[in-house]
A and B are shown apart, each in its own frame.
Chain A
Amino acid sequence: MLLLERRPVDSSLMRWTSPLLALVLTVTTGFVLFLSMGKDPMDGLKFFFITPISDLMGLAELGLKMAPLLLCAAGLTVCYRAKLWNIGAEGHFLMGALGASIMAVWLVDADGFWVLPVVLLAGTLAGMLWAAVASGLKTHLHCNEILTTIMLNYIALNLLLYVVHGPLKDPYGFGFPQSVMFADSALLPALIPGTRLHLGLAFGLLAAVLVWVLFARSFIGFQLNVVGQDHRAAAFAGFGARRLTWFAFLVGGATAGLAGASEVTGPIGQLVPQVSPGYGYTAIIVVFLGRMHALGIVVASALLALTFIGGEMLQIAMNMPKAVTGLFQGLLLFYLLICDAFIHYRIRLKWPSRQTTIAAKTVTGDA
């Protein structure tokens, strides 16, 4: 009989192999899925994982999708380390895009090196503002942050739709819901000339480095860890939970807001209704998959960026629905959590003798 038994000590080996195991399980499931749809599974996996990044253009696209994921994930890591379940990166992201767009449209005739920083700052502040709402609701009114951040995501989306259909709509845009194109001075410079890859990826990598510094070298990072692992111990040590909550949320809002600002000033160049294909939600998977560790989220964000362009590739090459991206992401997170259970537990193969059966029954209450 298979028994699930608590390990005396959590397995650190399992902690790091669990994401790999989850990936293997996801790919295996994908293999079966392709077979069941009557497609060649090897072709499918090749088009999903390899073809999209087989040239420089593809790698640049990967970096392009990686940037928002990594930025959002860096902020969420700070929150999740302190066990603050901020699901609001999507909302912060949209508000960042909105804030930056309003500033960029306002400065559309301006020229100068200062325009871009001002536009990015507007986006960052808008993201922070949105996170501050959730933070205030949590620290002062004790509202559950999962529910408030989800609701704020929907409100942010509707706010963005309102602005893009209303005040910011380009009057000469043939009725399309979109803003005017931003001035060149408000656009992010390309990292690799000739590709769409822009400075946003550098912001993302910088954010990951800062997350590493925060948790490896700073007192506030230590406090966040303690609050997350043992709330009471943190209270005894006199760490202000309220202050830390504000810190984590504002960091989360700032990074996701900057991600949104980088998206409209980078590849898009104007405000459109579909700014995000769900980066803020996917970033949650990045954080879990990356083990809430700076290096981990860099690798995980690259993998999940690949699911976006891999999904597009499958749509073009094999006529699969684009939703395969979401399916892949969902499967990955799902398998990850199952594998994660074996950090704390192990499976024992046991053939219980009669006596232990009785004992086990009394304990589990089957009798």
Chain B
Amino acid sequence: MELLTNVLAATVVAGTPLLLVALGELICERSGVLNLGQEGMMLMGAVAGFVAALTSGSLVVGVAAAILAGIGMSLLFAFMAVSLAANQYAAGLALTIFGTGLSAFLGAGFVGQSIDGFTRVAIPFLSDIPVLGRVLFDQDPLVYLSLMAFAGVAIFLRQTRGGLLLRAVGEDPEAANANGLNVLVLRYLAVAFGGGMAGLAGAYLSLAYTPLWTENMTAGRGWIALALVVFATWRPERVVLGAYLFGAASILHLVLQGLGWKSSTELLAMLPYVVTILMLVLLSWNPGRTRLNTPLSLGQPYRPGR
């Protein structure tokens, strides 16, 4: 029981960065924009968060810097993909390559340094619930933030006028435009939200998960999140489940080692990537389901007044 609780708690921690970045990408894709630059934005968030926290001595400043860095990167993407109507695949890929290079450059002087990252803060009463209390209510503040972000995104999409407008733009930008919506502005906002969330996810890695900076520390999480959003058929609840499933896959090697299994770390480290491919294969069993749920204009640039 003790072990199970600890494993579940570690699963939530490992799944949190994925949850954050996937929620941002979910909003972005719901507006019809596919941003493959998640990995680059996360890396920039991670390095900006770490450097800001180290130099200012404040984790909150670090988180704010990470979010701003993510937004800044996403605006570069929006300029290319939304304003200049560039190919979204190429623009996103460019953002990832650029972010990888820039983050490595900016962080070069900070490799090997460490800070005191976020620590667990138990919520009174709630954390006393058996198992669930430790798993969900005795975590670091960013985990709570990710859960609030989930609730916010779910309510926004389903219950608010803003969510309706966002979905309208993603489904049919022409019709949305005819109804007086400014498609480009809404898409900019959605992309920026995705950037902020990716930056925050990066900060989670460099300020909470492993409080240090190394090149490419995201290790493909931005790409896994992209697959996750498709797998979740663009629904927030499924994104949460998927993120924690991946969290479990990525800590499995620690669990097995804890149980006394002798297996190669490198082979087990493949697991999250293999699971991602398996997930994509599972999707192909029912292509109609994916097609029905895909925002109709996803990936297509929109030029007003063509």
Contacts and interface: CB of A to CB of B under 8 A. Distances in A.
A166 B264 contact: yes
A151 B273 contact: yes
A228 interface: no
A6 B105 CA distance: 37
Q: Identify whether the interface residues of B are mostly helix, strand, loop, or mixed.
A: helix
Given A141-B281, A142-B284, A337-B90, A323 B215 contact: yes
A240 B20 CA distance: 41
Contact of B266 (A4, A162, A330): A162
Give the interface residue-count category, chain B: 35 or more
Contacts of B131: none
Contacts of A338: 79-80, 84, 86
Contact of A144 (B80, B104, B182, B280): B280
A155 interface: yes
Among A87, A143, A166, A366, the most chain B Cβ lie within 10 Å of the Cβ of A143
Contact of A158 (B79, B98, B223, B266): B266
Interface stretch (A41-49, A178-186, A189-197, A281-289): A281-289
B143 to A, nearest CB: 25
Contacts of A158: 266-267, 269-270, 273
B84 A4 contact: yes
B145 interface: no
A281 B94 CA distance: 11
Given A137-B277, A337-B90, A337-B94, A146 B36 contact: yes
A341 interface: yes
A330 B305 CA distance: 33
A85 interface: yes
B102 interface: yes
A345 B305 CA distance: 14
A165 B263 CA distance: 13
A342 B105 CA distance: 29
Interface in A326-344: 326-331, 333-334, 336-338, 340-341, 344
Nearest to B174: A365
Contacts of B224: 151
Nearest to B180: A365
A171 interface: no
A4 B83 contact: yes
Interface string B73-90: 000100110011111011
Main secondary structure of the interface of A (DSSP, over half): helix
B101 A327 contact: yes
Interface residues of A, number: 53
Contacts of B109: 321
A323 B47 CA distance: 14
B258 interface: no
B102 to A, nearest CB: 6
Contact of A143 (B94, B183, B274, B284): B284
Interface in B247-306: 264, 266-267, 269-270, 273-274, 276-277, 280-281, 283-284, 287, 303-306
B177 interface: yes
B98 A147 contact: no
Given A6-B303, A325-B101, 12 more contacts: A141-B284, A152-B277, A158-B269, A159-B270, A321-B105, A321-B109, A326-B100, A330-B102, A333-B94, A333-B98, A336-B94, A337-B90
27 contacts: A6-B303, A147-B227, A148-B277, A151-B224, A151-B227, A152-B277, A154-B270, A165-B264, A166-B264, A285-B97, A326-B100, A326-B102, A326-B104, A330-B97, A330-B99, A330-B101, A334-B76, A334-B98, A337-B91, A341-B84, A341-B85, A344-B85, A345-B84, A363-B305, A364-B177, A364-B305, A367-B180
Interface of B: 36, 76, 79-80, 83-87, 89-91, 93-95, 97-102, 104-105, 107-109, 177-178, 180-183, 215, 219-220, 223-224, 226-227, 230, 264, 266-267, 269-270, 273-274, 276-277, 280-281, 283-284, 287, 303-306
